[in-house]
Chains A and B, each alone.
Chain A
Amino acid sequence: MLRLEGVTKSFAGKHAVDNATLTVPVGQMVGVIGRSGAGKSTLLRMINRLGDPTSGRILFGDTDVTALRGRPLRAWRARCAMIFQQFNLAGRLDVLTNVLMGRAFHMPPSRALLKMWTDEEKAQALSALESLDMARMAGQRAETLSGGQQQRVAIARALVQEPDIVLADEPIASLDPRNTKVVMDALQHINRHLGITVICNLHSLDLARGYCDRLVGMSAGRVVFDDAPAALTDATARDLYGLEAGDVIGHAPPMALPAGAQPGFALAGS
């Protein structure tokens, strides 16, 4: 169980995240919604500790995540995989090496820095890629792939981390509708079939409603809504999004695409 207690992050006197308190039980799929600049990314990055809170605590079970340093901190990051809007792959490296970075914490550097992967590691990475229908691309450079393919590589990297939590920071914001569905379906599959907690920042309200068990609404750094998707009325949503409301509410959900138009997605339920 992940708990945030009064987490605050300030940049130059401004609160990007202001006194956020949340409890996420194991296995939930949480959508964090809100307009641009509401503090969604900052919140997620603090959970992975890519950013440090100015005050407040983040707890996972009995562990105080905010107090971790050095190797225990890296162990925590390995347990809480992150997926980024811009994929954050090394473009010049091949897909397989990028996915193998998901094992980075567990590898002895002496061997890994020379790219001497074990067969076991390679098999794990390939199987993750295969489950996302990306194994054929394993030898290609990441930068030659389309956005949707790169995000699937990033998801494969997250999968080989064998994480307890997957944090997805606007994972579909750079993607077209077809790839949006592929990526969101993959996250849903990770949550439903592997039982991994997923916390996903989403700009689109319709997607958040369609995929998540629970929605957390943020506005100006504060958590202003926290309930089941059904409890979010259009009026509340309009408050949450302000001027951006028209962009995120009432658009046809991309789930309406014909089934034949999507690449196969078959995560082995291992």
Chain B
Amino acid sequence: MRAPTSSLRERYPEHFQGFGRDRFVAAAIGFALFALLIYAMGHLGFFDGTLLAGFGRLFEIVGLMLPPDPGSWAHVKTFSVSLIETIAIALLGTLSAAVLALPLAFLAARNVTAQRVVRFLSRRSLDTIRSVDILVWALIWINVVGLGPFAGALAIMTADIGSFGKLFSEAMEAADRKPVEGITSTGGSHVFGIRFGILPEVFPVLISQILYYFESNTRSASIIGIVGAGGIGLHLAEAIRTLELQQTSFIVLMILVAVAAIDFLSNRLRFALIGRRGGATA
């Protein structure tokens, strides 16, 4: 036996009103977005046949790339050295970005920094860093420190401070409140709450984000190499420009193997660092 709907509606109007209108608005927004997608595709030439015509050319290029061939043994050696340089750029850039982003992330996290002004400033500075793409940072740093891998590492570092700062601070904000409360209840200071309440909770998340960025930056590093910031990108750009397509595919293959190896190793490293249950702690 329950109270009649009308009396419930009277007592809890907030749960009944506006339901139909919300759904109409959702449908309207969905339709508008779909229409925009179709219009944009048309504008970019999706429907005027260039794509279909281009497909033939795509297969032609792929055909020319096969089989992958470095050309000579000397090339293999040059490429390998450059690939190692690329990985070094990615590793150095990612690690230094993570180290510099951590304090900024603490300042930007709502549950760590109560000071609204500090939080606002750190968030906006992270936004500013992030709004400049890695390629642009590479061009800037080349002008500052000259061509070469140092510029590449600096580019990755600056670009990723912004991303890490955002990701880290969001991980901290998502951390469970209970361990912190437990420490607060003992009379522990805010710093203790952060160190022993939040940090152990977010440690595995930070590690996996850093390792993913390392892997992803290995790919980015080959792109910024094209503008002259060191690494294998230079050879890749050269091979494409001179239409050495078999060399191009060989380099792409090398990058692929390197990224797969990093993925494999980073998984092992991640489990070693965060430990399976009962293992080492932060």
Number of interface residues of A (CB under 8 A): 38
The answer to whether residues A84 and B186 also contact, given A90-B201, A141-B278, A144-B277 and a CB cut-off of 8 A, is: no
Chain A residues positioned under 8 Å from B278 (CB to CB): 140-141, 144
Residues from chain A with Cβ under 8 Å of B192 in the complex: 101, 104, 109, 112-113
Please tell me the size bucket of the interface on B: 20 to 34
- Interface residues of B: mostly helix, strand, loop or mixed? helix
Assess whether B148 is interfacial by the CB under 8 Å rule: no
In the bound assembly, the distance between CA atoms of A90 and B181 in angstroms comes to 10
| A interface footprint on B243-281 (CB within 8 Å = 1, 0 otherwise) | 000000000000000000000000000000000011101
A97 to B196, CA, bound (A): 9
Q: Chain A contacts of B184 at CB under 8 A?
A: 50, 77
Q: Is the CB of A88 within 8 A of B185?
A: yes
Residue from the list B182, B195, B197, B282 in contact with A154, Cβ < 8 A = B182
Which of B185, B203, B281 has a CB less than 8 Å from the CB of A97? B281
Q: How close is A230's CB to chain B, nearest CB, in angstroms? A: 33
B187–A94 CB distance below 8 A: no
Q: Which residues of B contact A112 (CB under 8 A)?
A: 192
Chain B residue numbers with a CB within 8 Å of A141 are: 277-279, 281
Complexed CA–CA distance, A81 and B184 (Å) = 10
**Of the candidates A74, A86, A87, A97, which one forms a contact with B188 in the assembled complex, judged by CB atoms under 8 Å apart?**
A74
The distance from the CB of A201 to the nearest CB of chain B, in whole angstroms, is: 14
29 residue pairs A–B, Cβ–Cβ below 8 Å: A48-B185, A50-B181, A76-B187, A77-B186, A77-B187, A78-B186, A84-B182, A88-B179, A88-B185, A90-B182, A90-B201, A91-B200, A91-B201, A92-B201, A92-B204, A92-B281, A93-B200, A93-B282, A97-B196, A97-B281, A101-B182, A101-B192, A101-B196, A103-B186, A104-B183, A104-B186, A104-B196, A154-B182, A158-B186
